[in-house]
Structure 1
Amino acid sequence: MDSSSSPAGDLPVYYVGQHESTRQLPISPQTWRRAHDCGYDMLTTSITTPLFHSRVLALLANQLSELKDRPLEHPIPAVSSLSATDTAITPCKTISYLIGLASPWVDLSSPDPLVYNISRQVLELEISYAAFCGLNKVVLPGPKLQYGSSHGDGLVQYACAVQELLALNNFMQILIHLPMMYHPDQDGDDVEGSLSPFTRKEYTEEGARSKHDFLGTWDAWHVIRSLCKYHARLFVALAIPRHLPAIHAQTRWHSEPLKLLSLTAQTFIPNPKDKPALTKYHQDLIHRYMRLRTPPWILLCDVGPIPGVPNVEPKTSKPPKAKGHDSADASKEPEKFLQALIEVGQNDQRINQTSIKTKNPTYHLAYIRNLQEKSPPQSFLELFGAGYYHDFLQNPLQPLSHNLESESYEVFERDPVKYDLYESAIRRALTDWVSAGKTASSPSGTIVVAVVGAGRGPLVTRALQASETAGVKIELWAVEKNPNAFVLLQYHNEHTWSNQVHLVQSDMRSWEGPVSTQPSQQQQQQQQYHSSHPHTHQSQKPPSQPHQQPPPQPQPHKIDILISELLGSFADNELSPECLDPLTHTRLNPTHGLSIPSRYTSYLTPIAAPKLHADIAGRTLTDPTAPNTPYVVMLHAFDYLSTQQPPPDGNPTTATATAAAAPIIKEAWSFTHGAGSGATSSPSPSAISFNNNQNNNNNEHNTRSARLTFPTPHRGCMHGLAGYFEAVLYAEIELSTHPLRAERKSRDMTSWFPIYFPLKTPLYTPDNSSLTITMRRCTDARKVWYEWIVESFLEPPTFPQCRKSR
């Protein structure tokens, strides 16, 4: 069941499963077909039976009894292998539609080594057998955080156990079931027959815990996945509560590898028709999470049985719950505690064959399906990136050193927004030039326009259209170094542009500028004078030679308007400054010359992007330079770490916002081109020395550096920097990938994705801390590269000043 786009192409696919905590029967093909007919895509199944649970409890109780007489000994009993009565699953055709549930009564985070080791053995047996049967997804109960100040040690041993479980096979995905936020009142262990109450008193300690913590369970997840080295088969099964946490907690989970969203009947509220429904905030949350590149599955828990399928309803009272028996009671009277659980476990095998109630039990499923149909329409950019570009790492193009393929040009030319803005800028520049009465550089008085790096010619076409629309005649030049693209330019010039374009196959840095064979205005006046006085100076010429004018000499001249599309995702990362330097400083009209774009600015912000970090870590196995390489990526599953504080709503337990807080994005540096830009002239490429023994840096004026500080109000883990840019084409016409301005300046533009500067080692940032980023654009006679350094600072607490007493 791979998540993919819907046939309509604009709605996400919802895979919805059903879970019944009382279901003990094996999932037969008939049961699965009935569930599928009702609209479910998957079912859950317990890996082991209550009889196995009772056997483990007996083993633990017997061991505790023996330890009463030998308190100094710490033997660990071995849990014997599974038998046919210990499990209800077998390899079958429907196994791929099932999600395995590991025993929820184990406690991998227990400080008691006896409870921990038995729990670890139980899970190893279950995971090993589930893998044998072909289950490819198993949900593990999350770590318990009720052990006070010792919960950190429990998290480490929990993570180590998960790491061992991942190593048992090479295909199974392990999902850690976690609540969306931590709250001590909701963190009690209410699982029937849990091993937690058997934790001996000498291993427990009281510790102060906060009333609630929006990122408490995320902290636990961060420890687990970090110690498991961002394993590719480790995911989150997130329990959605009835009351959602603050928006910064919601966006944090959006950046994590979500595989499952579980909703219980208590998550829903009755609507005016007394039918189950979700609040608007829950709806927005699900819509947002379902837009991920791989949408999570939805699991409806205990919302009613499958119609027509017998359900398990124990006829005896339920066993004592963990919160009703502390560790001291369980350890003092293990036999009594055990006997009650064994009796209930045996009674749980009785099956109630009574008829199903007439009330429709699939209202919750119908609501989720209706929610899918009412999903907000995806934006143009979401549709553009869905299924492929989202969070897909690409190496930045290097058109200066590599000749691009036609397919690469094709991707850029599909973006009409960029070229519409370019055409508007060219038309506006031509109109203003004529209105201002500026002198053109062509000998004939025509405005000289040059498109450098013409590629397959889209900007050439737009320049001709702008000239025609503005009613201004131009002398158009197109320069391209790619010999393959130059062939296509020649074809377009003959069949599309009516040979109006002067084509030059050359590197723009070594191009000497436009050279016209047309006579200048002075030569035209002389020719007109001689044609009106044919006998002037005729005696000075030999009578045997006819009268003829000398051929016009080439007339080099300047460029009036220079057009280029050399920008990268970080503006200057495709070496636009180095390419344009020789042209803007030596070939451009020194008085009125324009460059389109005239200015571009780079921006930065720190982000959490665990998926990108995991992908880069995988590349490191074959490419050691992967963590030091900037990537172009359409960021999707990520979280801004530096944001503006949202306004307080006065109720922290229900703090929810309709939109995420605005990210703080700061300017790094800028480049300006055109007449009067004030930049220092760079030498010709032929003058650059490639002698490594010389400390020459002829491109030093293009170096840049920035040191920026970002506040981080909420703790998180920084995986890298997101880079954006803005470019002024002409006047107020701009291009922008800045998240807060792109919608206004260049909506639906797809030519550039953000750039991502990764960190080799993720950096944890505490609450109310700050990140200081040092970014440098370095250069020498051979190359240009970036260096980035990140520092985290914790703001010291402030204390009130005390008056001196006399």
Structure 2
Amino acid sequence: MDEQMPIFYVGQHETNRTLPVTEDVVLQAHSCNYDMVTTPVTTPSFHSRTLSILSNYNATTNSEEADCTPFPLIPPLTPLDTFLAPTEHVTQQPVVTAPWIDLASPDPLIANLSQQVFKLEVAYAAFCGATSVLIRGPRFRCGASHEPSVTHFAQAILEGLNIGPYLHLSILLPMVESKDEEEPEPVGSLATFAREDFLTGLPKRKSSSFDAHRSWDTWNVVRTICNYHGRLSLALSIPRHLPDVSVQSRWFAEPLRMLELTAESFAKNAKGYPVLTKLAQGFIGRCMRLRTSPWLLLTDVGSIPGLNNPEEIFPMSDGMLSPTKTEDMSRENSKSASPTSSDPTPAEAAAIPQPKKKNKDPTPHLSYIRFLQRNQPVKTTVERFGGGYQDYLQSPLQPLADDLESITYEVFEKDPVKYEWYERAIALALADWHPFGKPASSPDGSIIIAVVGAGRGPLVTRALRAAATTNVKVSVWAVEKNPNAYVLLQKHNLGMWGNAVQIVKSDMRSWQGPVLTDGQIGKVDILVSELLGSFGDNELSPECLDGVQHVLNPGTGISIPASYAAHLTPIASPRLHADIMGRAVSDKDAWEVPYVVFLHQMHYLSSLNPTLTDGHSSKMELPTPNVQQAWEFRHPQPNSTLIQSQMRKGGSVAGGGAGGFSGGDGANDHNARSTTLRFACQKRGICHGLGGYFETVLYKGQSTEKTDNESSKKVELSTNPVTMEEKSKEMISWFPIFFPLKDPLYIPDDSELDVSIWRLTDDRRVWYDWMVEAYVVVKDKRVRIGLSGLHSSRKNGCLM
């Protein structure tokens, strides 16, 4: 299997499987290129016994006695009630609870019997060593006479999670509710025995009240009542025609463990073979690129071939072998490759009976899925690099307080775009220097470049390359406080750079400047740094560049980067929310930390084009997220700003008597920021936090009558998903930042989110405060319907 390609694990599922799934059945399924087979917990015998208990209860209990008569009890399972046993293959196959129970029934009798059956099955499955249980969710039909009780269903699932401490429960739900009003319940379903007294008086839905988000609403209630449990996941049934991409994106953000494909999920091509629509292919392809890709479950597309004839093994020539079969074949080949083995003679080969050719593929749906697997696009650079980091929470770096390890530098240096763009910026700055008549700060006419926070030296190398390509004489200085990186810089200077670089071990804010040939302290012409964090300013780039600005030539000096802006958008990310919930058990401040994370399995709540296409289109185009700018920093700062900052240090009279807004003298208050942004949310959802990004202008070329316009000389980097493709495609140095909400905020259709965020400082550290408010417009008035509360990272702020 090519590690550049997604791996498909495909299972075979029959909703009415009546025969036991033995080891032979599993082996035969593997031979047919399936990876797994689902197995029911209980048998038709148990189903019949339960129906008899219900029938006897109804026959002996009249309506007047129903309120005071206890519900019947389901006796323990017997050998006739289940084929399941604690065998090795049980731990490797998903088990399925009875599809005929109705945990969401409005009739308390049906709900109680269903819960008893459910608890018996879950407990026995846990005893047998099963690890994955598939549970059919509540059934919704457009125009149905009554609504199922989702809260009762969710409470039963929570009980199931408590019964089996190692069981992973997956709820099977359709991507959209069924539009078929006449869709019947399964034969023998307990739902059909619900008493009319409990169905009348319930709210009825209009026959035209189809809601594409209704199924998701059900899932949201279940996982909320279960408190985002780590062993609760989703099995999503894929329809033939997918809904609007906004609905698809919402489901993509959920904890997908299985994708179900029924016979109805497929269309037929011109030759009569089953195929999936382009949108369905695109959605499955996206899901298969998740860090933990879901299993594919082929449901009721035909039985396993050859169960009656174990020798009926057929080749899979038009698809990719399953991971399971690939492993089995490698074992068989290793066993058969013995030194004593020999190939058959021509006569012996002719005597070997050959399998009859088959005109028809016995598993056309499986063959198509393997074909789809084989034709998946190769993973991009970003996917290959970030695959292990998808939705993995990391605390932001403390670049001033801590010395980074070499492996941390190495991760950044693998970026194929960032340093190329920095070299372009330096080269353009050098090329612009003499045409604009700028004097060099060095007595010998060389332009002085200082790389501050040099790390292991990648920007130093790029500065030297830029000087060589532009044929401009330069003097390069590298300033680094990390004593270990300082040693490596000296090694590079002796070998790679040929002693062309002056190495200085110092905090950049304490560096006095380059020592010139005449012994005087000079100024820097071009100041180069890579201090930006995931939010642009979250790793103290403003404070560091303020502190080193005194070495920059005040008249002609250039800062690379010249400016950077922070951007925000509200997102839904159940996976990240559940992860932080787990951390909060041992860390009470887990909700007050903005995390660096490669956001992947998430959903943008506000989009610029929310309804691009519907499920009948053959083109999959994701909505453009509504990402807004929060604030911006520019360098170099005006001298007046830095003079005022110096006056406030130490609490002098000249600095004013008020002090800083958040404590301290206020010397760094000019780097504080705040904003409130408004986001229109067309569809309902859950806000779990804010996704943060940045855009930076490394160098903005100056224009004259003799040069090109400045836009052609502008060099920019971006992690903003709206502009990243245009400005710095496939850049991997920075992941986004995530500001979590402890209490997820539910928002209805056509609502608005007001996001307020502050960058605060007390002259010793920098931190963020943030909060989100939800509004709806009622009779031309904005009404607040939700409030997240104020979060603050003050305790975990970045130390100056």
TM-score category, normalised to shorter length: 0.7 to 0.9
State the percentage of identical aligned residues: 49
Distance (Å, rounded) in 2 between the aligned partners of 1:228 and 1:21:
26
Report the equivalent of 1:714.
683
Q: Tell me, yes or no, if structure 1 residue 555 matches structure 2 residue 520.
A: yes
For residues 533-590 of structure 1, give each alpha carbon's deviation from its aligned partner in whole angstroms, at most 9, with x where no partner exists.
Answer: xxxxxxxxxxxxxxxxxxxxx2122111100000000000000000010222x22111
Which one-letter code corresponds to 2:624 in the other structure?
A
> Counterpart of 1:795 in 2: which secondary structure?
strand
The two structures, once aligned, show a CA RMSD in angstroms of 2.4
Report the equivalent of 1:376.
377
Q: Tell me, yes or no, if structure 1 residue 198 matches structure 2 residue 193.
A: yes
Deviation, structure 1 residue 72: 3.7
Deviation, structure 1 residue 676: 5.5
Report the equivalent of 2:122.
127
> Counterpart of 1:395 in 2: which secondary structure?
coil
Which one-letter code corresponds to 1:671 in the other structure?
F
Specify whether residues 427 and 145 from structure 1 end up closer, same or farther in structure 2 by C-alpha distance, changes over 3 A only.
same
Which of structures 1 and 2 has the bigger CA Rg?
1
Matches within 5 A, 1:330-345: none
Specify whether residues 685 and 286 from structure 1 end up closer, same or farther in structure 2 by C-alpha distance, changes over 3 A only.
farther
Q: Tell me, yes or no, if structure 1 residue 486 matches structure 2 residue 486.
A: yes
Specify whether residues 568 and 477 from structure 1 end up closer, same or farther in structure 2 by C-alpha distance, changes over 3 A only.
same
> Counterpart of 1:218 in 2: which secondary structure?
helix
CA contact (8 A) 1:246 1:656 kept: no
Matches within 5 A, 1:628-707: 628-646=592-610, 654=616, 658-674=620-636, 679-681=641-643, 683=645, 687=649, 695-707=664-676
> Counterpart of 1:378 in 2: which secondary structure?
coil
Matches within 5 A, 1:99-118: 99-118=94-113
Larger mean CA deviation between 561-570 and 106-115 belongs to 106-115
Specify whether residues 385 and 559 from structure 1 end up closer, same or farther in structure 2 by C-alpha distance, changes over 3 A only.
same
Deviation, structure 1 residue 190: 1.9
> Counterpart of 1:722 in 2: which secondary structure?
strand
Deviation, structure 1 residue 230: 0.6
Larger mean CA deviation between 141-150 and 271-280 belongs to 141-150
Matches within 5 A, 1:377-526: 377-386=378-387, 388-516=388-516, 518-519=517-518
Distance (Å, rounded) in 1 between the aligned partners of 2:650 and 2:530:
25
Specify whether residues 723 and 257 from structure 1 end up closer, same or farther in structure 2 by C-alpha distance, changes over 3 A only.
same
For residues 9-28 of structure 1, give each alpha carbon's deviation from its aligned partner in whole angstroms, at most 9, with x where no partner exists.
Answer: 22111111112234311112
Distance (Å, rounded) in 2 between the aligned partners of 1:297 and 1:653:
23
Structure 1: runs of 5 or more not aligned = 1-6, 312-356, 520-553, 800-806
Report the equivalent of 1:42.
36
Deviation, structure 1 residue 762: 0.5
For residues 50-84 of structure 1, give each alpha carbon's deviation from its aligned partner in whole angstroms, at most 9, with x where no partner exists.
Answer: 11111111111222223315244242221110001
Q: Tell me, yes or no, if structure 1 residue 583 matches structure 2 residue 542.
A: no
Distance (Å, rounded) in 2 between the aligned partners of 1:186 and 1:593:
73
Which one-letter code corresponds to 1:704 in the other structure?
R
Structure 2: runs of 5 or more not aligned = 310-357, 653-658, 701-713, 782-800
Deviation, structure 1 residue 400: 0.9
CA contact (8 A) 2:142 2:181 kept: no
Distance (Å, rounded) in 1 between the aligned partners of 2:430 and 2:510:
27
Report the equivalent of 1:596.
560
CA contact (8 A) 1:642 1:711 kept: yes
For residues 97-124 of structure 1, give each alpha carbon's deviation from its aligned partner in whole angstroms, at most 9, with x where no partner exists.
Answer: 3221100111111111111111001000
Report the equivalent of 1:63.
57
Distance (Å, rounded) in 1 between the aligned partners of 2:179 and 2:186:
16
Specify whether residues 240 and 678 from structure 1 end up closer, same or farther in structure 2 by C-alpha distance, changes over 3 A only.
farther
> Counterpart of 2:510 in 1: which secondary structure?
coil
Deviation, structure 1 residue 685: 12
Specify whether residues 447 and 685 from structure 1 end up closer, same or farther in structure 2 by C-alpha distance, changes over 3 A only.
farther
> Counterpart of 1:391 in 2: which secondary structure?
coil
Deviation, structure 1 residue 182: 1.7
Which one-letter code corresponds to 1:628 in the other structure?
E
Specify whether residues 695 and 515 from structure 1 end up closer, same or farther in structure 2 by C-alpha distance, changes over 3 A only.
same
For residues 461-512 of structure 1, give each alpha carbon's deviation from its aligned partner in whole angstroms, at most 9, with x where no partner exists.
Answer: 1111111221111122111111111111122222222222222111111211
Specify whether residues 467 and 149 from structure 1 end up closer, same or farther in structure 2 by C-alpha distance, changes over 3 A only.
same
Distance (Å, rounded) in 1 between the aligned partners of 2:663 and 2:251:
52
Distance (Å, rounded) in 1 between the aligned partners of 2:663 and 2:270:
81
For residues 421-462 of structure 1, give each alpha carbon's deviation from its aligned partner in whole angstroms, at most 9, with x where no partner exists.
Answer: 111111110110012120122233321111111111111111
Report the equivalent of 2:271.
273
Which one-letter code corresponds to 1:589 in the other structure?
N
For residues 297-318 of structure 1, give each alpha carbon's deviation from its aligned partner in whole angstroms, at most 9, with x where no partner exists.
Answer: 111111112112149xxxxxxx
Query: Which of 215, 218, 221 is residue 217 of structure 1 equivalent to?
Result: 215
CA contact (8 A) 2:268 2:275 kept: yes
Distance (Å, rounded) in 1 between the aligned partners of 2:142 and 2:445:
84
Report the equivalent of 1:320.
none
Which one-letter code corresponds to 1:361 in the other structure?
P
Report the equivalent of 1:181.
176
Q: Tell me, yes or no, if structure 1 residue 790 matches structure 2 residue 772.
A: yes
Report the equivalent of 2:157.
162
Which one-letter code corresponds to 2:297 in the other structure?
L
Specify whether residues 786 and 150 from structure 1 end up closer, same or farther in structure 2 by C-alpha distance, changes over 3 A only.
farther
Specify whether residues 359 and 557 from structure 1 end up closer, same or farther in structure 2 by C-alpha distance, changes over 3 A only.
closer
Specify whether residues 165 and 150 from structure 1 end up closer, same or farther in structure 2 by C-alpha distance, changes over 3 A only.
farther
Specify whether residues 147 and 359 from structure 1 end up closer, same or farther in structure 2 by C-alpha distance, changes over 3 A only.
closer
Report the equivalent of 1:574.
539
Report the equivalent of 2:333.
none
Specify whether residues 686 and 788 from structure 1 end up closer, same or farther in structure 2 by C-alpha distance, changes over 3 A only.
closer
Deviation, structure 1 residue 260: 0.8
Matches within 5 A, 1:532-551: none
For residues 656-703 of structure 1, give each alpha carbon's deviation from its aligned partner in whole angstroms, at most 9, with x where no partner exists.
Answer: 862121111000000000375875447569955799997522100000
Specify whether residues 174 and 689 from structure 1 end up closer, same or farther in structure 2 by C-alpha distance, changes over 3 A only.
farther
Report the equivalent of 2:693.
724
Deviation, structure 1 residue 237: 0.8
Distance (Å, rounded) in 1 between the aligned partners of 2:213 and 2:82:
36
Distance (Å, rounded) in 2 between the aligned partners of 1:511 and 1:203:
80
Larger mean CA deviation between 785-794 and 147-156 belongs to 147-156
Distance (Å, rounded) in 1 between the aligned partners of 2:605 and 2:645:
42
Distance (Å, rounded) in 2 between the aligned partners of 1:601 and 1:662:
19
Distance (Å, rounded) in 2 between the aligned partners of 1:675 and 1:641:
36
Query: Which of 562, 566, 585 is residue 621 of structure 1 equivalent to?
Result: 585
Which one-letter code corresponds to 1:247 in the other structure?
V
Matches within 5 A, 1:216-365: 216-310=214-308, 359-365=360-366
> Counterpart of 1:435 in 2: which secondary structure?
coil
CA contact (8 A) 2:144 2:181 kept: no
Distance (Å, rounded) in 2 between the aligned partners of 1:697 and 1:798:
42
Distance (Å, rounded) in 1 between the aligned partners of 2:247 and 2:117:
33
Paired residues, what number? 709
Distance (Å, rounded) in 1 between the aligned partners of 2:632 and 2:17:
64
